[in-house]
Structure formats: C-alpha cells, structure tokens
Copies of this chain bind each other. A is one copy, B any other.
Amino acid sequence: MTSQTGPDPEPTNPVLALLRERRSVRVFTGEHVPDEDLEQILLATRQAPSSINAEGLSLVVVRDPERIRAVAEVAGGQPQVAGADVVVVFVVDFHRTEMAARLHRRQQVVETSAEGVLVGAVDAGIALATFQTAAHSLGYATTAIGGIRNNPAGLIELLDLPRGTFPVVASTLGVADPASLPRVKPRMPMASYAMEERYDPQAVADGARAYDEILRAWWDEQGMAQMPTWSQDTSARYSTYYYPTVAATMRAQGFRFLDGPQDDDAEAR
C-alpha cells in the first residue's frame, strides 16, 4: 500500500499536488479577496457532506477589519488572524435543527449527547478542509484557527450566536505574503499514520520517535533550532487544559454529555 523506503512518489494530478503543497500561511499582503472569489469558495464549501444530511453547521463570514481584529483578540491576540482579509467561523448549529424539531412537535436532544458533539465537530472539520482546498485552488492562503476556543464566550457574544450553537474552529483567508511563505511541514511517517487492517502500537511508537528527529532537522534547516520537538511541544500543551473555558461555555450554550455515565467522574478529578 505504501512505499516503505525511498522518497514519496510525486503527486499524479493537479488536485493531489495542491493538497500535498498545503501549508498554514500566517502572513498576508492585505490584498482584498473579491466577492466573486469568496462566493465561489463558499459554494464549494456548502457542498461538503453532513451527517444524516442534517446540515447542522453554519458559517459566519467576518470581513469588517475592526471585527476581524476583535476575533484576533478572542483567539488570544493572534497577528495571523488580525492580518487576514477574511475570517470564517465554523459554527455547530443545533439551533437550526431545533427549528425542525419544533415544526414536528419533537423534543431535540442531540445537543445533550457526546454523539451530538462529535457529529458537530466532525462536520465542522469537513467543511473547513473543503473551504481551504477551494481557497487554495484560487491561489489564496489559509490557516485553521483552533485558538477561537481560547475565549469561546467572547466569540459567541461578538457573533450573536444563539443557544444550541458553538463556534468550533475558524479559518483565515487572504493573499500570502511571498516573503513569509513557510515550507511544507513534514508529517508522521506513513506507516505510523495509516495502518493496514489493525492499529499497530509499535508502528505508532516508532513513527513518533522518528518524527521528533524529522521535525528537528526541518526546523534546523529553517534556521529555527530553538523550536521545540514534536513530543516536547505536544506534551506541554496536552498536559494542561489549554483552552479551559470550552466545557463551561458549551454548557452555557445548552450542550451536555448526558448520554453516558459521568457522576462517578467526580472522584477522578
């Protein structure tokens, strides 16, 4: 299935080449994205699939420069957001589906289940990737912004998001500054990322060790030897609740995890 040795084969068509060249661009020229191009990108995004065709996702497209700066603040003061021409927020939307429930005199419960949270977040990710591929095909640059979960309550207020909705992830959009264009970042070795038939803990362990070296060498090449390795960086973040208000804000928006045992979790705290 995958080449075990030697360099990766070259992409065999232009779409694959576009996907293989994907990188997160954090410095923009400030050039304006024309309405026609944004419409093309959104029409492509809208065709992304949703679970049970529920269409439980909405996009809020922020273009007002002052409001983009406000989103950047919410995301922890990120210049890469403030410098974008457009910021699109991907919103899990069980407010829309609740209208359907009311119409048929049903009581919606999806937002009170772990399953509902999974569905919403997966569909947001699907739409975000589609949005970014569409944007890249037109020559624009993007970065996914998980940092909006730094202060989700602030974003909910800024975007007037009703109960039953939650802003899960965002994407910047703009024209890349060619002077600051990053190189494509290397990835986990394929054998430890895509496994055949079964999960292989040994392959994952080997790949993780190898990746620390691969990324170290790559940073060195960029003259950024001070950057942490993959395992340093990931373990530092993942040993804290690094966006600590997510669960409380979800709760305030009406989300719950009632479909599973939880009361005896208290002792595990």
Interface residues of chain A, those whose CB is within 8 Å of chain B, are 1-3, 8-9, 11-16, 18-22, 24, 35-36, 38-49, 51-64, 67, 88, 91, 93-97, 99-101, 103-104, 106-110, 112-119, 121-130, 132-134, 137-138, 143-144, 146, 149, 159-162, 165, 168-169, 184-185, 187-188, 190, 192-199, 201, 204-205, 207-208, 211, 230-244, 246-248, 250-251, 256-263, 265-266, 268-269
Q: How far, in Å, is A26 (CB) from chain B's closest CB?
A: 12
Closest to A242 in B: B115
Cα(A60)–Cα(B160), bound, Å = 40
The listed residue (B40, B125, B193) touching A46 by CB distance below 8 A is B193
Whole-angstrom distance from the CB of A39 to the nearest CB of chain B?
A: 5
Bound Cα distance A159, B197 (Å): 7
**30 A-B interface contacts by CB (under 8 A):** A1-B63, A2-B39, A3-B39, A8-B43, A11-B43, A15-B15, A16-B41, A16-B134, A46-B194, A49-B132, A52-B146, A57-B193, A58-B195, A60-B199, A67-B197, A88-B194, A96-B192, A101-B235, A106-B239, A109-B238, A115-B243, A115-B247, A122-B168, A124-B125, A126-B129, A128-B129, A248-B260, A248-B261, A250-B260, A262-B265
Q: Are A238 and B144 also in contact (CB < 8 A) when A44-B16, A262-B265 are?
A: no
Q: Closest 6 A-B residue pairs measured CB to CB?
A: A247-B260, A125-B125, A15-B137, A121-B121, A100-B231, A129-B129
- What CA separation (Å) do A18 and B263 show in the bound complex? 48
A239 close to B129 (CB less than 8 A): no
Question: Known contacts A95-B201, A129-B125, A146-B52: does B246 contact A195 (CB below 8 Å)?
Answer: no
**Residues of chain B lying within 8 A (CB to CB) of residue A207:** 96
This protein's copies in its complex: 2
Q: Which of B123, B204, B208, B235 is in CB contact (< 8 Å) with A106? A: B235
In the complex, are the beta carbons of B11 and A44 less than 8 A apart?
yes
Contact B257 A109 (CB under 8 A): no
Q: Is the CB of A266 within 8 A of B263?
A: yes
Hey, which chain B residues are within 8 Å of A238, CB to CB? 54, 94, 97, 100-101, 106, 108-110, 116
Distance in Å: Cβ of A179 to nearest Cβ of chain B: 22
B22, B94, B115, B160: the one contacting A48 at CB < 8 Å is B22
Instruction: Tell me if A117 and B115 are in contact (CB < 8 A).
Output: no
